[in-house]
């Protein structure tokens, strides 16, 4: 009788250990899957100077994915677009380095956000540029309510495109690159 109890106890112990191991293993997958979704964000940039040519707005391209999670951006296929994968509310910041190649009068550069090809209301900013030695950072930022599949982009226009007015990238020796644009997007809800 004690051998049967010992065998039954051994079988019960093996079954309990297997069940506990399976439970903990599955729990680990659940926790890992939840952690894999994590925050949704992007930081994109460009080391290229970009100049509007013909008085029409230019969609700014970003060929560097500095940080990207939960959003889609192809630096080669559609470098001017960032696609939302999950519906929600997003904080969007476009910081551009403004400059020009020629001219000594105040020309201006405008920047704004587009959503699905449409200008986002009240997202525009303007900076006057007095001469080629002058550079500054111009920031357009806001909150965007997005659906899955929405496309965000940044547009610029110049009052004097013939003077090389646009967004400029600089690569100082021994320092980090100064991108022509840094675009940050973060899902807040």
Write the DSSP string, 38-53. Answer: ---EEEEEE-S-B---
CB 168 within 8 A of CB 135: yes
Q: Which pLDDT tens digits describe the chain residue by residue (189 residues)?
A: 444 444 443 434 333 333 433 333 444 433 333 334 789 999 999 999 999 988 789 999 999 999 999 999 999 999 999 999 999 999 999 999 999 988 888 999 999 999 999 999 999 999 999 999 999 999 999 999 999 999 999 999 999 888 889 999 999 999 999 999 999 999 999
The confidence score (pLDDT) of residue 17 equals 37
Same domain membership, residue 95 and residue 72: yes
Structure tokens at 186: 């973060």
- d(CA 147, CA 87) in angstroms, rounded, equals 4
- d(CA 99, CA 101) in angstroms, rounded, equals 7
Same domain membership, residue 77 and residue 16: no
User: Would you call 177 helix, strand, or coil by DSSP?
Assistant: coil
Same domain membership, residue 153 and residue 113: yes
CB 58 within 8 A of CB 157: yes
- d(CA 37, CA 21) in angstroms, rounded, equals 25
H-only helix segments in the chain? 2-37
Same domain membership, residue 31 and residue 77: no
- d(CA 22, CA 44) in angstroms, rounded, equals 42
Domain count, the chain: 2
Same domain membership, residue 47 and residue 7: no
Measure the CA angle with vertex 28, ends 23 and 29; round to 5°. 100
The label of the residue with tokens 């729990």 reads: 27
Domain assignment of residue 133, given as a range: 39-187
CB 105 within 8 A of CB 162: no
| CA–CA distances in Å: residue 28 to residues 21, 32, 70 | 10, 6, 22
Domain harbouring 118, CATH code: 2.60.120.40
């Amino acid at each position: 009788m004690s051998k049967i109890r010992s065998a039954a106890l051994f079988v019960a112990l093996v079954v309990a250990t297997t069940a506990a191991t399976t439970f903990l293993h599955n729990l680990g997958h659940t926790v890992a899957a939840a952690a894999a979704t994590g925050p949704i964000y992007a930081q994109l940039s460009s080391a290229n100077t970009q100049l509007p040519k013909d008085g029409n707005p230019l969609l700014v391209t970003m060929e560097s994915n500095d940080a990207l999670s939960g959003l889609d951006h192809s630096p080669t296929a559609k470098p001017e677009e960032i696609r939302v994968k999950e519906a929600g509310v997003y904080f969007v910041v476009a910081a551009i380095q403004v400059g020009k190649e020629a001219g000594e009068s105040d020309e201006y550069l405008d920047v704004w956000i587009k959503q699905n090809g449409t200008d986002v209301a009240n997202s525009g900013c303007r900076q006057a540029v007095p001469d080629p030695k002058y550079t500054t950072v111009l920031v357009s930022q806001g909150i965007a309510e997005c659906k899955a599949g929405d496309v965000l982009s940044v547009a610029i226009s110049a009052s004097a495109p013939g003077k090389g007015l646009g967004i400029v990238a600089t690569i100082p020796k021994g320092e980090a690159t100064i991108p022509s644009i840094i675009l940050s997007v973060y899902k807040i809800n």
